Structure 1
Amino acid sequence: MSILHRASFTVSAARLDQLPEPTTAEVCFVGRSNSGKSSAINVLTNQRRLAFSSKTPGRTRLINLFGIPDPLKPGAHLGFLVDLPGYGYASVARESREEWADVLGGYLRDRASLAGIVLLIDIRRGVTDLDRRLADWIAPTGRPVLALLTKADKFPYGQRIRAVADVRKQLADIGALNALPFSATHRLGLDDAAAQIENWISPKVVP
């Protein structure tokens, strides 16, 4: 069983100073509103409603942490999956969007325990201006990124491959970038994505 299947809700935070001390690996999920982030978290953890979207997209401003228990240390965690609210929803006031951008950028740049970033991109939209802005925050940190091109079942195989190549080209300044076609409903790319995230949280010892 994947260690991700043991994830459970641990805490929510509205500000960075409300987050727990950065003592163990965190893998964050970030993406534009309606990019399929909640569905990806749920299918990766094999749970139906671990993560869920607000009925009004773009309104939720909480950072949600889901802990993965350490089987050898009762009460301790191997790591956390971190659900960052979606960005770029047009109906949210500009002041609120900018305030959240500061929190998001601060987390991505400065969070010491951040081991990897899962960037959700709707394969039908490709890299948007907001995705590009996000990449500008990430690139200088050198942190690894897994770009999941969600809703990939909407494209035939050849078009998926071209879309992945386009994303890799547009985000080439992120040095440690992996990009995969992904579909929560068809479980496309699920095993590869889970393996990458598991390795960030609990690196496998290679002899």
Structure 2
Amino acid sequence: MSILHRAHFTTSAARLDQLPPPSAPEVCFVGRSNSGKSSAINVLTQQRRLAFSSKTPGRTRLINMFGMPDKLEPERDIGYLVDLPGYGYASVAREDRSAWAHVLGGYLRDRPSLVGIVLLVDIRRGVTDLDRNLIEWIAPSGKPVLALLTKADKFAYGQRIKMQFAVKQELAAIGMLHTVPFSSTHRIGLEDATTHIENWISPQVAA
């Protein structure tokens, strides 16, 4: 069983100073509103409602952390999945968008326990200007990035591969980058994504 399947809700925070002190490795999920973050977290952890998405896009304003307990010491978490607020929804007030950008940028730049970033990109949209802005925060950090091209079931296999190559070219500023066509509903790319995240948290995963 994957260590991701042990994930449980740990805490929510509206600000960086409300997060628990850095400890075990953290893998964060970031992407535009409606890019499929919550669905990806739920299918990767094999839990239907671990992560929630707001019915109104852009309304989720919290950083949500999900811990994965040690098998031998269940009270101790060996790693965390971190769901960051979505970005880029047009109807959200400008000042709110600015505040979210500050939280996102601060976490990606300064969080010492962050070991990997899962960037979700809707395969039908490709890389947007807002995604490029985010990459400007990510690239200098040197953190490895797994780009999940969500909703890949909407494209035929050949189209997926073509878009995968195009996204990799777009994200060339990120040195350590792996791209995976992904679909929560059709479980496309699930095994590849799981392996990458597990290896970030623990190179020798003890399932």
User: Percent identity at matched positions?
Assistant: 76
Q: State how far apart, in whole Å, the 2-side matches of 1:74 and 1:27 are.
A: 20
The AA in structure 2 aligned to 1:111 is R
Q: Partners in 1 of 2:73 and 2:198 — Cα distance?
A: 18
Alignment-mate amino acid for residue 146 of structure 2: L
* Residue matched to 1:115: 115
Deviation of 1:96 (Å): 0.5
Q: What does residue 191 of structure 2 align with?
A: 191
CA deviations 1:110-140 (Å, max 9, x no partner) are: 1000010000000000000000011110000
Measured in 2, the distance between the counterparts of 1:99 and 1:18 equals 15
Aligned twin of 1:55: 55
Equivalent-residue separation in structure 2 for 1:121 and 1:39 (angstroms): 13
The aligned residue for residue 128 of structure 1 is: 128
Q: Which residue of 2 aligns with 1:85?
A: 85
Q: Which residue of 2 aligns with 1:16?
A: 16
Q: Deviations over 1:76-125 (max 9, x none)?
A: 11100000111001110011101110110000011000010000000000
- Measured in 1, the distance between the counterparts of 2:137 and 2:63 equals 18
Cα root mean square deviation, aligned? 0.8
What's 1:40 paired with?
40
Runs of 4+ residues over 6 Å off in structure 1: none
Q: TM-score, normalised by structure 1?
A: 0.97
TM-score normalised by structure 2 residue count:
0.97
CA distance in 2, matches of 1:74, 1:146: 28
Give the Å deviation of 1:174.
0.2
Which residue matches 1:26?
26
Counterpart of 1:143, as a letter, is K
Structure 1 residue ranges without an equivalent (≥5): none
Q: Secondary structure at the match of 1:118?
A: strand
Q: Distance in 2 between matches of 1:149 and 1:33?
A: 14
Residue 109 of structure 2 aligns to a residue whose secondary structure is helix
CA distance in 1, matches of 2:74, 2:145: 30
> For residues 191 and 169 of structure 1, what CA distance do their matches in structure 2 show?
23
- Report what 1:153 is aligned to: 153
CA distance in 2, matches of 1:203, 1:111: 20
Indicate the residue corresponding to 1:202 in structure 2. 202
Secondary structure of the residue that 2:95 maps to in structure 1? helix
Aligned-partner residue type, residue 135 of structure 2 = A
Listed one character per residue, the Cα deviations across residues 11-47 of structure 1 (whole Å, up to 9, x for unaligned) are 0000000001111100000000000111000000000
Secondary structure at the residue paired with 1:28? Answer: strand
Give the drift of 1:72.
2.4
Contiguous gaps of at least 5 residues in structure 2: none
Report the Cα offset of residue 202 of structure 1. 1.1
Q: CA deviation at 1:3?
A: 0.6
Alignment of 1:58-73 (within 5 A): 58-73=58-73
Task: State the SS of the aligned residue for 1:185.
Answer: coil
